[in-house]
A and B are shown apart, each in its own frame.
Chain A
Amino acid sequence: MQNRDELKLKILPIIEEALNLTQPITDTTLSFKEDLKADSIDIVSLAMLLEEELDIDIEDSLLDQLRTIDDVMLFVEEYT
Chain B
Amino acid sequence: MKNVVISGMGAMSSLGLNIDDFWKNCLDGNSVCDEIPDSWHQFTDFSSGIWSPLPPIDYQEHGFNRVELAQYDKVTLLAMAATKQALQAANIELAETENNKRQFKLTNLDSNRVGVIIGTGIGGVSTLLENHSHLVLNKLEGILIGRGLANPIANYTKPRRLNPFTVSMTMPNAVAAAVGIKYSINGINNTISQACASGTSAIGAAYKAIQSGEIDIAICGGAEYMRDEYGAVYKSFDIARTLAIPKNDIQTANCPFDKDHSGFLFSEGGAGILVLESQESALARGAHIVAKIIGASESFDAHSMMSLAPEGLQIKRMLNNLLSQTNLTSRDINYVNAHGTGTKLNDSIESTLIKEFFPHAPYVNSTKSILGHTIGASGAFEAIASALSLQHQLLHPNLNLNNPMTDINLVGRKSLAAPLNYALSQSFAFGGHNCGIILEKY
* Chain A interface residues toward B at CB < 8 A: 17-22, 37, 41, 44-45, 48-49, 51-52, 57, 60
22 A-B pairs with CB atoms under 8 Å apart are A17-B67, A18-B67, A19-B100, A20-B65, A20-B67, A20-B101, A20-B102, A21-B100, A22-B100, A37-B100, A44-B164, A45-B67, A45-B70, A45-B71, A48-B161, A48-B164, A49-B67, A49-B70, A51-B161, A52-B66, A57-B160, A57-B161
**Pairwise interchain contact A44-B100, C-beta atoms closer than 8 A:** no
CB-CB < 8 A to B102: which residues of A? 20
Residue B156 is within 8 A (CB to CB) of chain A in the complex: no
Q: In the complex, A45→B100 CA distance in Å?
A: 14
B 98-109 binary contact with A (CB < 8 Å = 1; else 0): 001110000000
Q: In the complex, A19→B102 CA distance in Å?
A: 10
Least Cβ–Cβ distance between B177 and chain A, in angstroms: 14
Residue B237 is within 8 A (CB to CB) of chain A in the complex: no
CB-CB < 8 A to A18: which residues of B? 67
Q: In the complex, A15→B101 CA distance in Å?
A: 14
Q: In the complex, A49→B66 CA distance in Å?
A: 8
Q: In the complex, A60→B162 CA distance in Å?
A: 10
Number of interface residues of B (CB under 8 A): 13
Least Cβ–Cβ distance between B71 and chain A, in angstroms: 7
**Pairwise interchain contact A51-B160, C-beta atoms closer than 8 A:** yes
**B98 (CB) vs chain A CBs: closest residue:** A22
CB-CB < 8 A to A37: which residues of B? 100
Residue B165 is within 8 A (CB to CB) of chain A in the complex: yes
Least Cβ–Cβ distance between B181 and chain A, in angstroms: 12
CB-CB < 8 A to A45: which residues of B? 67, 70-71
Q: How many A-B residue pairs have CB under 8 A?
A: 32
Q: In the complex, A40→B101 CA distance in Å?
A: 13
Least Cβ–Cβ distance between B345 and chain A, in angstroms: 45
Least Cβ–Cβ distance between B232 and chain A, in angstroms: 24
Q: In the complex, A57→B138 CA distance in Å?
A: 14
Partner of B164, one of A17, A49, A60: A60
Least Cβ–Cβ distance between B127 and chain A, in angstroms: 14
CB-CB < 8 A to A49: which residues of B? 66-67, 70
CB-CB < 8 A to B66: which residues of A? 17, 49, 52
Least Cβ–Cβ distance between B202 and chain A, in angstroms: 27
CB-CB < 8 A to A51: which residues of B? 160-161
**B65 (CB) vs chain A CBs: closest residue:** A17
CB-CB < 8 A to A21: which residues of B? 100
CB-CB < 8 A to A60: which residues of B? 164
Q: In the complex, A20→B101 CA distance in Å?
A: 7
Q: In the complex, A17→B101 CA distance in Å?
A: 11
**B residues 68-84 with Cβ under 8 Å of A?**
70-71
Q: In the complex, A19→B99 CA distance in Å?
A: 11
Least Cβ–Cβ distance between A55 and chain B, in angstroms: 9
Q: In the complex, A44→B71 CA distance in Å?
A: 10
**A20 (CB) vs chain B CBs: closest residue:** B100
CB-CB < 8 A to B101: which residues of A? 20
Q: In the complex, A52→B67 CA distance in Å?
A: 11
**A45 (CB) vs chain B CBs: closest residue:** B67
CB-CB < 8 A to A20: which residues of B? 65, 67, 100-102
Least Cβ–Cβ distance between B216 and chain A, in angstroms: 30
CB-CB < 8 A to A48: which residues of B? 70, 161, 163-164
**A63 (CB) vs chain B CBs: closest residue:** B164
CB-CB < 8 A to B70: which residues of A? 45, 48-49
**B70 (CB) vs chain A CBs: closest residue:** A48
Least Cβ–Cβ distance between A15 and chain B, in angstroms: 11
Q: In the complex, A22→B99 CA distance in Å?
A: 11
B 138-175 binary contact with A (CB < 8 Å = 1; else 0): 00000000000000000000001101110000000000
Least Cβ–Cβ distance between B225 and chain A, in angstroms: 20
Q: In the complex, A21→B165 CA distance in Å?
A: 21
Least Cβ–Cβ distance between A33 and chain B, in angstroms: 14
Q: In the complex, A18→B66 CA distance in Å?
A: 8
CB-CB < 8 A to B71: which residues of A? 41, 45
**B68 (CB) vs chain A CBs: closest residue:** A45
CB-CB < 8 A to A17: which residues of B? 65-67
